[in-house]
Structure 1
């Protein structure tokens, strides 16, 4: 038995293969190139994306001697495009989740709806990222594009190209801001309120279940056998919790990229005031009967990349040099506070307009100290988010399954462990979202019995664990409470004063 999974993200194209308890997992990672239109808006080329999917899938099929039993697809959540339902014509650019063209429509939405009541239905706080805002932008700038159209996420688009079916899963539908997580249905009342047709949205299937079959043309193009079941497996961060085996109250996923996401799994329940005030987002998990909660540090790895470009005009500082810098400073905390809000702020106080700051710099400090302080700041923000989640869930988070590019930086990972007091477990599997999509498709197509079976797979036993150093954790905890949290509150008050004046 074998499953092929496809991840539509921003990493490099590559293919790999894992053996899991006698079952083959072949995976393909597909990279997007960000382009710009005449207005400076960012977009992806959908046709180029599918060509790269075909290339990556061919690569894994060629190294896979057994028959492929299922295909699972995961992707970044809010990225989407319009397809003509009748002709199959691509009607709009594929708009990335991070493109801000729809930012002005957030205020319009806030003025039209009861934000809290809508949160109870959708699990979301208003943001330019979501499909509704992107559709309102297209409705105003090019209304003809919405005629006979369907809005598809990146994963949905690849599924359609392979099967001809317009479908999505609950976890991706829930990132449109017009999907009810309480009833698991499209919010037709909200659609009418904003003048959108129900036909704009695809059928919703359970994550990982068969949404269609590889058709003849796609079979010739990809090397997959005609008739192989294809499943939309859902939101990449949520799939990653499955791939990293991070699906309990006290063990959560820490996905470290340009943005850093903390993701947890909880039983499905009715959302209310405490969830709303937590600042977290909620939605249907890819595992049946569960929800996920999610918060983020929008510029975690982004802070690292920003710093790398500040000290030379020729090229960015190498990661090797930065790692050496950490060895040149004392092991204890720097005492400098970096508030990492270069790209806004996430839970528990979300704001797209938040600002970053360094506090406590002195003449004695060198660039090596500032570098370490920057890493400490991202860890402080993660600790604040962790504390908010613990308060909301009335539990203690003792372990984070850490995945993503940031796990390669051993110094940063130790700082994270010391600041948060958590054990950081780094799975052997390098592509947790891909692996989770394969497992989700495996469950949906009967290859695995369910979530309990996959939690005991041998691959989950081989992990690198980073333990917090008790003395440093004590020092960082004092700095977190006495300096970082008060500093962040002062910055928030300054931002509020600025908006009022």
Structure 2
């Protein structure tokens, strides 16, 4: 390993934190990965929280494990990149670094009433400025809720005693805390985010690439000084260098932190989605489809989202069209942890394959509402079509099939929005390892599905962004040549059967929509 330079990546996701090392060829270093799961906290129905300190401790533990397992000299780490669960919000004390409350997770639905207010009064303003549809999914109403519900927090925010941000901001601030060379030294660490994460807050003008004073005012009078400095995803100026908090992990060396992107944007970058029209789907806790739309945002008329894709220089960005599905892989975890139908997640595939079909069962995983293209925070989960002949294998198969149906929902709208027929879907994420699911996805879409050799495309994408900033690679053309397809799944289902199955799915979804409005007392809305 002498003379080699590496990129260290931190992928902080909804259920776990993963740290990896990539070499100068953009390949994962053998054995150079570690991960830690963190707790999912559910204080009330529809509320989802994480412990920010647990996430930070897990991050440090993963860094330590990777360096110990590989024996890589910390001095050979050229740069660090961070990618993250995007809309989750953390608020912490500037002086002590202590969070004032748990992180409120992107899945959380507690702000449905605030969203109703925004939809009634500011729908067009929000859509025009941010490219988003008002929803509890995004960061702004979570921050609004914290300011209104944590005693004394609003006053502390006005006095400049607290800082806020998404999880990338929280990690970068901790990584660089106490360093003498950061972009925001007066804040104790680099208090930054990148344009892609900022674009997920519902507070960011995606055309001007700056926080919107209008949106800050109408969404709870959020003080602008609590927010991070928006920067490019690949920042040649560097956000900062690692500080005393983590110096022991890196042998006392200061490592630059220069790459940052939301996990879904990073995944498209890792899939070499550099041409307009390139599409990827990440199968994680939820499913997220992104299409590269080039230098200008495409404002959707069909409930998709215009979002910043990535940036390599201040004041400029590439954009994407996105469809966000809230619960897919999380439904497999529910089978394991909630229903206890399986003991480990991997068991779902052989169990599902043991059934020739679902026996008429459909599963709608609207545990925290439905995202694109429905955007219904009051939808709730549903299993329909049960008979005395239904077995756990049918439910397992219905859960996997629901992931593919939800993906088709978004693809259909994406095609209608752009007028382009998608001929290939590049896939990644944990559930994309399932051959059964990927074949059913190709079948229900009628489209070729391509799984790359490197499945950790989120980590790979932010490695590319950080490495570009540090000069390891020259540009996206060089990176495009590094992408390699693994397995290709061609559709083989009879088209009539495909449409019959999909019609049943749409009928099942209709029955799940709006349920929490019918029984609001059950979900804390009264």
Whether 1:162 and 2:175 are equivalent positions in the alignment is yes
1:7 corresponds in structure 2 to: 11
Whether 1:144 and 2:155 are equivalent positions in the alignment is yes
Whether 1:108 and 2:108 are equivalent positions in the alignment is no
- State the superposition RMSD in angstroms: 3.3
* Distance in 1 of aligned mates of 2:347 and 2:37: 27
What are the Cα deviations for residues 190-218 of structure 1, in whole angstroms up to 9, with x where unaligned? 22343222212111110021443324514
Equivalent residue of 2:104, what SS? coil
Equivalent residue of 1:402, what SS? strand
Q: Work out whether residues 8 and 76 of structure 1, in 8 Å CA contact, stay in contact via their aligned partners in 2.
A: yes
Q: Work out whether residues 46 and 109 of structure 2, in 8 Å CA contact, stay in contact via their aligned partners in 1.
A: no
| Structure 1 length-normalised TM | 0.86
Question: How does 1:413-492 map onto structure 2 within 5 Å?
Answer: 413-457=438-482, 460-469=483-492, 472-480=493-501, 482-486=503-507, 488-489=509-510, 492=513
Deviation at 1:338, TM superposition (A): 4.1
Whether 1:205 and 2:231 are equivalent positions in the alignment is yes
Equivalent residue of 2:90, what SS? strand
Deviation at 1:240, TM superposition (A): 1.1
Equivalent residue of 2:487, what SS? strand
* Distance in 1 of aligned mates of 2:353 and 2:502: 26
Q: Work out whether residues 339 and 378 of structure 1, in 8 Å CA contact, stay in contact via their aligned partners in 2.
A: no
Aligned counterpart in structure 2 of residue 74 of structure 1, from 69, 80, 83: 83
* Distance in 2 of aligned mates of 1:323 and 1:42: 27
Deviation at 1:317, TM superposition (A): 5.0
1:476/1:296 Cα in 2 relative to 1: closer, same or farther (>3 Å)? farther
What are the Cα deviations for residues 51-84 of structure 1, in whole angstroms up to 9, with x where unaligned? 3222222333443246111111111111222234
1:442/1:32 Cα in 2 relative to 1: closer, same or farther (>3 Å)? same
2:377 corresponds in structure 1 to: 352
- Structure 1: 5+ residue stretches without partners: none
Q: Number of aligned pairs?
A: 488
| Structure 2 length-normalised TM | 0.82
Q: Work out whether residues 159 and 232 of structure 1, in 8 Å CA contact, stay in contact via their aligned partners in 2.
A: no
What are the Cα deviations for residues 278-317 of structure 1, in whole angstroms up to 9, with x where unaligned? 11122111255311222133222233344456776xx635
1:304 corresponds in structure 2 to: 332
Q: Work out whether residues 168 and 232 of structure 1, in 8 Å CA contact, stay in contact via their aligned partners in 2.
A: no
1:191 corresponds in structure 2 to: 216
Whether 1:121 and 2:148 are equivalent positions in the alignment is no
Whether 1:285 and 2:309 are equivalent positions in the alignment is yes
* Distance in 2 of aligned mates of 1:95 and 1:326: 33
1:226/1:17 Cα in 2 relative to 1: closer, same or farther (>3 Å)? closer
1:32 corresponds in structure 2 to: 38
1:412 corresponds in structure 2 to: 437
2:181 corresponds in structure 1 to: none
2:186 corresponds in structure 1 to: none
1:54 corresponds in structure 2 to: 60
Aligned counterpart in structure 2 of residue 403 of structure 1, from 428, 440, 443: 428
Equivalent residue of 1:21, what SS? coil
Equivalent residue of 1:291, what SS? strand
* Distance in 2 of aligned mates of 1:136 and 1:494: 25
1:178 corresponds in structure 2 to: 203
What are the Cα deviations for residues 444-471 of structure 1, in whole angstroms up to 9, with x where unaligned? 23221122211111xx2251222221xx
Equivalent residue of 1:285, what SS? strand
1:447/1:93 Cα in 2 relative to 1: closer, same or farther (>3 Å)? same
Aligned counterpart in structure 2 of residue 269 of structure 1, from 272, 296, 311: 296
Q: Work out whether residues 311 and 317 of structure 1, in 8 Å CA contact, stay in contact via their aligned partners in 2.
A: no
Deviation at 1:43, TM superposition (A): 3.5
1:450/1:498 Cα in 2 relative to 1: closer, same or farther (>3 Å)? same
Equivalent residue of 2:63, what SS? helix
1:255 corresponds in structure 2 to: 282
1:311/1:118 Cα in 2 relative to 1: closer, same or farther (>3 Å)? closer
* Distance in 2 of aligned mates of 1:456 and 1:184: 30
1:327/1:235 Cα in 2 relative to 1: closer, same or farther (>3 Å)? closer
Q: Work out whether residues 207 and 444 of structure 1, in 8 Å CA contact, stay in contact via their aligned partners in 2.
A: no
2:524 corresponds in structure 1 to: none
2:183 corresponds in structure 1 to: none
- Structure 2: 5+ residue stretches without partners: 177-188, 521-526
Q: Work out whether residues 6 and 27 of structure 1, in 8 Å CA contact, stay in contact via their aligned partners in 2.
A: no
Equivalent residue of 1:60, what SS? helix
Q: Work out whether residues 380 and 480 of structure 1, in 8 Å CA contact, stay in contact via their aligned partners in 2.
A: no
Deviates more, 1:223-232 or 1:389-398: 223-232
1:167/1:30 Cα in 2 relative to 1: closer, same or farther (>3 Å)? farther
Q: Work out whether residues 75 and 236 of structure 1, in 8 Å CA contact, stay in contact via their aligned partners in 2.
A: yes
Q: Work out whether residues 102 and 137 of structure 1, in 8 Å CA contact, stay in contact via their aligned partners in 2.
A: yes
